Amino acid sequence: MAVFFTHDVSLERWEQRGMLSRELAFYQTLAQTGMDVCLYTYGKNDGRYRNRLGPNLTLAEKTCHCPASHYAFMLPFVYWKQLHKADLFRIHQVAGAIPALLAHWLWRKPLIVRAGFQWYRFAKKQGASRLKLWLISFIERLAYRSATSIIHTTQEDADFVAQRYHISKTKIHIIPNYVDTDLFKPLPIQKQPRSICHVGRLEKQKNLGMLIEALQGLDAPLTIYGEGSLQRTLEEQARSFDVVVEFRGRIANEKLPREFNACEIFILPSLYEGHPKVLLEAMACGLAVIGTRVEGIKDIIRDGENGVLCGTDVPSIHAALARLLEDSSTRLELGTAARETILQHASLLQAIRMEVGLLQHLVL
């Protein structure tokens, strides 16, 4: 199987973002089933990661210094002989569709289009220009209509794609994002009393300004992992509200389990999400989780059963935090149920089984 990376994304960039081990885990586990998997990336320096790939997982890194926009069209011809031998093509995200589509049209091999989130909807919510939205829609239309099979992580995204691009629902498969539950699990670590944590980009989507304001009067420290353009603004806001917020910057994914286990509550106060892996990982560690009642979160958290849902406004976030901070038994019950939810519906092995079933159907 040839896997085409998202446009201009490399293993090196995955490592810089702290997500290399998490993203590789899927393909490493898939390769352990006996399938030969080759990763086609945009990294000129990705060769140094070869010794971290494992059996049956190989790499085809960028071969020149040209812009990614040019290389996307060149890639199928650069690796002509290799791609000609592939049994099927897979897109890691729709934004990496161009070289995969070219390969599909050239060799007429089955094409799997995966979307970890719905690109057009995200871009629209982020205020993308009309031209960019048109381009995204054009690429998505080509990808979805050319695909042999489509993978989405949520039913909501699948329904949107089926309706907008007139795609048969029989072509679309729901495979949720996954968690390595052997890595993300409860650990015997002393929790910091009344501690709250968040992991994510420091951008408007994550609604962190409201979260920081909601901390007033709670006497609870917040630790934020991640980077973004709003960090200075958020730091100033924390000082003005006289609340304790520690900004720890980017963290490697494999280090998150210990940080989660040292905390009592995880919160994701976003304005919208796709199918957030960090929420699944926190739940897998047995944390009591709070999320806003928005797209991408409300389908994961069942309020009062495996977590707490709240609004995106300050009073609602404050009330949810206050409720869990004062009730240790509820935190324990919700955390236990959260872990069980992930084991039943979002484990790495379950995702692999679903994908292998799809792949076997396509190549037989």
Q: What are phi and psi of 199, to 5 degrees?
A: -130, 125
Nearest to 23 by CA among 1, 52, 2: 52
Q: Give the per-residue pLDDT at 23.
A: 93
With 90 as the cut, is the pLDDT of residue 318 above it?
A: yes
* Cα gap 136→123, rounded to integer Å: 8
β-sheet with 288-292: strand ranges across: 245-249, 222-225, 196-199, 265-268, 288-292, 308-310
Tell me what pLDDT residue 286 has: 97
Query: Exposure of 189 by Cβ count < 10 A (0-12 exposed, 13-18 middle, 19+ buried)?
Result: middle
CATH of 196-345, one of 3.30.70.890, 3.40.50.300, 2.50.20.10, 3.40.50.2000: 3.40.50.2000
Whether 153 and 177 have beta carbons less than 8 Å apart is answered as yes
16, 118, 238, 240, 245 from 231: Cα distances, Å: 18, 26, 11, 14, 11
User: What confidence tens digit (pLDDT) does each residue in 107-160 have?
Assistant: 999 999 999 899 999 999 999 999 999 999 999 999 999 999 999 999 999 999
> Is pLDDT at 22 greater than 70 in this prediction?
yes
pLDDT at 261 over 80: yes
User: How does pLDDT run across 192-201, given as a tens digit for each residue?
Assistant: 999 999 999 9
Instruction: Answer yes or no: is pLDDT of 230 > 90.
Output: yes
Q: What integer is the mean pLDDT of 201-224?
A: 97
pTM of the model: 0.93
What pLDDT does 360 receive?
86
Q: Which residues contact 82 (CB under 8 A, 6 or more apart)?
A: 2, 38, 60
Say what the pLDDT of residue 364 is: 61
Render 307-323 in DSSP notation, one character per residue: BEEE-SSHHHHHHHHHH
Instruction: Report the share of the chain in percent with pLDDT over 90.
Output: 96
Average pLDDT over residues 340-347: 95
Q: What mean pLDDT is predicted for residues 271-290? A: 96
Contacts of 16 (CB under 8 A, 6+ apart): 250
Contact criterion met (CB below 8 Å) for 211 and 292: no
Q: Looking at the predicted structure, is the pLDDT value of residue 171 above 90?
A: yes
Topology, domain 2-178+348-363: Rossmann fold (3.40.50)
Q: Of 151, 159, 245, 252, which Cα lies nearest the Cα of 202?
A: 245
Across 308-330, average pLDDT: 97
CA-CA distance, 124 to 79, in Å (whole number)?
A: 35
Q: What is the mean pLDDT of residues 274-280?
A: 95
- Every domain of the chain with CATH number 3.40.50.2000 lies at 2-178+348-363, 196-345
pLDDT tens digits for range 29-80: 999 999 999 999 999 999 999 999 999 999 999 999 999 999 999 999 999 9
Task: Provide mean pLDDT across the span 19-24.
Answer: 93
User: Residue 5 to residues 10, 17, 53, 72, 242: CA-CA distances in angstroms?
Assistant: 7, 15, 15, 10, 43
Q: Rounded to an integer, what distance in angstroms lies between the CA atom of residue 279 and that of residue 287?
A: 10
For position 361, what pLDDT does the model report? Answer: 84
